[in-house]
């Protein structure tokens, strides 16, 4: 698994992270079975994933408890990000969201032309960055 430097801290994380939304609370679907989610998290670590994104808003605290339980045996091999990221980053201000939506539309158009999902296009672009 490739590594990326996270910000200016020098922290090295896997190039691909795992977002944990939906594992303990479903916004768009039923949350995953707890034991299946534990197995999924541990499998991700076995494949080299060291960066996991979780937030209190996914619970409250239920998501952190789930990831903590699943990853306790491999705690020394991973990194956590726990915050409401969208409230801390300027690119998610109301003004910037309009520009972000234009980018999402572009991703959808490219994905349709390539006959893949927008997520696949976004991930390919991300992994191509140095």
The residues annotated as belonging to the active site are: 58
Q: Write out 6-64 in H/E/C secondary structure.
A: ECCCCEEEECCCEECCCCCCCCCCCCCCHHHHHHHHHHHHHCCCCEEEECHHHCCCHHH
Handedness of CA 30, 98, 126, 70 (dihedral sign): negative
Cα distance between residue 23 and residue 14, in whole Å: 20
CA 50 to chain centre: 11
């Amino acid at each position: 698994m490739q590594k990326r430097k996270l910000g200016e801290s020098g922290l090295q994380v896997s190039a691909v992270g795992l977002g944990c939304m939906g594992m303990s609370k479903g916004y768009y679907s039923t949350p995953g079975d707890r034991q299946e989610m534990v197995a999924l998290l541990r499998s991700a670590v076995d494949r080299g994933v060291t960066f996991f994104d979780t937030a209190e808003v996914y619970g409250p605290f239920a998501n952190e408890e789930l990831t903590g339980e699943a990853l306790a045996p491999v705690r020394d091999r991973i990194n956590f990000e726990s915050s409401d990221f969208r409230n801390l980053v300027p690119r998610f201000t109301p003004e910037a969201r309009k520009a972000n939506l234009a980018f999402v539309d572009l991703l959808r158009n490219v994905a349709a032309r390539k006959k893949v999902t927008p997520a696949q296009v976004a991930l390919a672009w991300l992994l191509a960055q140095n």
